[in-house]
Chain A
Amino acid sequence: MDATAPLPALRTGAAIGGRVRSGRRVADRVLRTGCLLATLLGALVLGSILLMLIVEGLKGFTPLLFTEPTPGPGSVGGGIANAILGSLVMTLIGIVIATPIGVMAGTFLAEYGRTSKVAGVIRFLNDILLSAPSILIGLFVYTLMVRPMGTYSGWAGAVALAIIATPVIVRTTEDMMRLVPGTLREAGAALGAPASTVIVSVTWRAASAGIVTGIILALARIAGETAPLLFTALNNNSWFNANLMGGVANLPVMIYQFALSPYPNWQQLAWAGALLITMTILALSVVARIVIKPQRAR
């Protein structure tokens, strides 16, 4: 074979672009441009949403938001303090219920169940619960709590949020505990520690950053959930009531009702609430990603 012969042909071919069939190159260009455009579109939408929230939300952003309860339709002033407080309380109760259940269930899947059939089934169902429509969870809690108790309540709202948060925590806890090397557990067991001690003081400790991340992600997920609160906590335009019975004001349902109302002052409050809740959730998501970093590096 002659090594020098094809060289001139290659050069001239490359010069006029004939070595690569033009169709191939066009297809390649189309793909590259298409992919870039798709990514830009995603960034554009996020930018547009943030811009809308900041522009509309800042108009009504006053300190009164945090001190006054929601006003009547068409009146002047008022804030969303009751909704903020109600959302905080229900989200926190939700997380407080979901965290022990989620962490323990994740522990079972990662440590005890492992490859057993029961664990397989629960893992599968948990993944399904993870993406189940949240409105169905609202219907479930309505039947379970609101109807027997005869009234909407903050407790029902908190339970609905807990049901949404649990699968998120189960999933991340299991994933993070599986990353802990088996040799660490063996070392613990070799010292004579029973399984529970090994889990608590070795595996949990090693996976703690990841588990915390899961809890923060669950918090971010339930902070903005609206659908399950519609039939459980509903809303309430008066001051926050500590016994959590009856409708409890909360940001998402407040935003939903006020944004679709015909009253400008309510719409303004909805925008302010939307800005507040989105920024909180985005901040939580960013924090969760920062927390998870050292875990991945290990």
Chain B
Amino acid sequence: MTALTERIALASPRTMLRKGPSKGLDSLFRTASFASAMVVLLVLAGILGSIIYGALPAFREFGFGFLTSSAWNIGTEQYGALVAVAGTVASAVLALAIGVPISLGIAVYLTQLCPGWARKPVGMTIELLAAVPSIIYGMWGLFIFAPLFARFVQIPVSNLVEGLPLVGTLFYARVPSGVGVLTAGIILAIMIVPFVASVARDMLDQIPTVLRESAYGIGCTTWEVVRHVLVPQASVSIIGAIMLGLGRALGETMAVTFVVGNANRLSASIFDPSSTIASRIANEFNEADGLQLSSLMALGCILFVITFIVLIIARFLTRRVKVA
């Protein structure tokens, strides 16, 4: 009897004690989540590593001359990046020049001017523009926009400026087909507008209402509120948003491939066809091998460096506001 009670007394604390949560499963979960996070890091490193690896033969062959040469000759195996880099930068800069004012206009409209009931549908419309796949923009650009652009802009403008110095070269289309650097810039502008506009809208929304109201209270017009209150408050993050748009414009592939004209020509006119880094890779990669493949990889490497510098700057500028 005593033995039995003793045994019960001994056993009971053991059963009373709740079974502790299994340490193994908990740490497994933690490790799995950490490993998943590291995948992001590995992928980024892998992208950089694989492109550099693929580009090595071209860099070894051409050295720094690769950056300054405008040759792209498959027959003689002479490759250079200048035309593609120039096309990429020119189309992206044109896209910013056209797209940024429109995006900021939309952001100001959505945050300051739009009547309350229209905010949601209008904002949704702009956000849906961002969801349209880039290949659809390419088709729209090539089949709808380019013919109109050739007829109503390229031909009249070319006729107007022909023979004039400077503008005569900058805005003269030898073959007014509607495709070219400017067309690519316009399509890119349409594509970056929803991104820049929605980031800029978020930034403007975060400015304390009381600042805006005090400005209106002392009799400012909407323009003055925007110019003297909103812009100074949000300028850094708006520049960040613009850089984010620039990053997208630089790397955009399919839409540009449709409308840039894909010519390896260094032309002073923004109406002339050209190439961008991404469009050239998209066009030639599947049929390329040897040095051409490696040169395309080298172009990819240059694109990687340019976009990543832009994106890093953009993320630093927008970081503080974005996290909140």
Bound CA span A199–B40, Å: 21
Determine which of B36, B132, B136, B194 lies in contact with A108 in the assembled complex, contact meaning CB atoms within 8 Å.
Answer: B36
Task: Pick from B3-11, B119-127, B159-167 the stretch touching chain A.
Answer: B119-127
Determine which of B26, B37, B132, B278 lies in contact with A135 in the assembled complex, contact meaning CB atoms within 8 Å.
Answer: B278
Q: Is A128 an interface residue (CB 8 A)?
A: yes
Is B26 touching A39 in the complex (CB atoms < 8 A)? no
Is A230 touching B41 in the complex (CB atoms < 8 A)? no
Q: Is A18 an interface residue (CB 8 A)?
A: no
Is A285 touching B253 in the complex (CB atoms < 8 A)? no
Bound CA span A255–B144, Å: 16
Which residue of A200, A230, A234, A286 has the most chain B CB atoms within 10 A of its CB atom?
A: A230
Is A128 touching B311 in the complex (CB atoms < 8 A)? yes
Which residues of chain A are within 8 angstroms of B315 by Cβ–Cβ distance? Answer: 124, 127-128
Bound CA span A127–B104, Å: 23
Min CB distance B235 to A, Å, is 17
Is A125 touching B40 in the complex (CB atoms < 8 A)? yes
Task: Pick from B27-35, B66-74, B150-158 the stretch touching chain A.
Answer: B27-35
Interface residues of A in 86-135 (CB under 8 A from B): 100-105, 107-109, 111-113, 118-119, 121-122, 124-129, 131-135
Is B223 touching A256 in the complex (CB atoms < 8 A)? no
Contact A224 to B133, CB < 8 A, known contacts A32-B222, A43-B122, A122-B40 = yes
Which residues of chain B are within 8 angstroms of A101 by Cβ–Cβ distance? Answer: 36, 39
Is A282 touching B131 in the complex (CB atoms < 8 A)? yes
Is B33 touching A31 in the complex (CB atoms < 8 A)? no
Bound CA span A16–B305, Å: 60
Which residues of chain A are within 8 angstroms of B248 by Cβ–Cβ distance? Answer: 131
Determine which of A34, A196, A271, A278 lies in contact with B29 in the assembled complex, contact meaning CB atoms within 8 Å.
Answer: A196
Is B135 touching A226 in the complex (CB atoms < 8 A)? yes
Determine which of B47, B110, B134 lies in contact with A136 in the assembled complex, contact meaning CB atoms within 8 Å.
Answer: B47
Min CB distance A172 to B, Å, is 13
Proximity string of chain B (129-147) to chain A, C-beta cutoff 8 Å, 1 when within and 0 when not: 1011111111110111000
Determine which of A38, A118, A124, A170 lies in contact with B106 in the assembled complex, contact meaning CB atoms within 8 Å.
Answer: A38
Bound CA span A102–B40, Å: 9
Bound CA span A298–B191, Å: 33
Min CB distance A213 to B, Å, is 13
Which residues of chain B are within 8 angstroms of A223 by Cβ–Cβ distance? Answer: 133
Q: Is B62 an interface residue (CB 8 A)?
A: no
Min CB distance B292 to A, Å, is 14
Is B251 touching A53 in the complex (CB atoms < 8 A)? no
Is B135 touching A35 in the complex (CB atoms < 8 A)? no
Is B46 touching A131 in the complex (CB atoms < 8 A)? no
Bound CA span A260–B261, Å: 12
Which residues of chain A are within 8 angstroms of B258 by Cβ–Cβ distance? Answer: 259-260
Is A196 touching B25 in the complex (CB atoms < 8 A)? yes
Is A43 touching B125 in the complex (CB atoms < 8 A)? yes
Which residues of chain B are within 8 angstroms of A49 by Cβ–Cβ distance? Answer: 132, 136-137, 140
Bound CA span A143–B197, Å: 36
Is A35 touching B34 in the complex (CB atoms < 8 A)? no
Interface size on A, as a range, is: 35 or more
Interface residues of A in 190-231 (CB under 8 A from B): 192-197, 199-200, 220, 223-227, 230-231
Which residues of chain B are within 8 angstroms of A139 by Cβ–Cβ distance? Answer: 47, 50-51, 54, 281, 285, 297, 300
Contact A131 to B253, CB < 8 A, known contacts A48-B140, A143-B53 = no
Is B40 touching A224 in the complex (CB atoms < 8 A)? no
Is B21 touching A131 in the complex (CB atoms < 8 A)? no
Is B282 touching A135 in the complex (CB atoms < 8 A)? yes
Is A274 touching B102 in the complex (CB atoms < 8 A)? no
Is A281 touching B223 in the complex (CB atoms < 8 A)? no
Q: Is A6 an interface residue (CB 8 A)?
A: no
Is A133 touching B21 in the complex (CB atoms < 8 A)? no
Q: Is A156 an interface residue (CB 8 A)?
A: no
Is A107 touching B33 in the complex (CB atoms < 8 A)? yes
Kindly report which residue of chain B lies nearest to residue A231, judged by CB atoms: B285
Is B44 touching A255 in the complex (CB atoms < 8 A)? no
Bound CA span A244–B282, Å: 22
Is A135 touching B253 in the complex (CB atoms < 8 A)? yes
Which residues of chain B are within 8 angstroms of A163 by Cβ–Cβ distance? Answer: 43
Is A31 touching B126 in the complex (CB atoms < 8 A)? no
Which residues of chain A are within 8 angstroms of B319 by Cβ–Cβ distance? Answer: 124
Q: Across chains A and B, which 8 residue pairs bring their CB atoms closest together, nearest first?
A: A133-B251, A224-B133, A38-B105, A104-B36, A196-B29, A28-B221, A143-B50, A35-B109
A-B contact pairs, 30 of them (CB 8 A): A20-B221, A27-B224, A32-B113, A42-B125, A42-B126, A42-B197, A45-B190, A46-B129, A48-B140, A52-B139, A53-B136, A105-B37, A112-B34, A125-B40, A127-B311, A133-B303, A135-B281, A137-B47, A139-B51, A143-B50, A166-B40, A192-B21, A193-B21, A224-B135, A226-B253, A252-B133, A278-B133, A281-B131, A284-B131, A285-B128
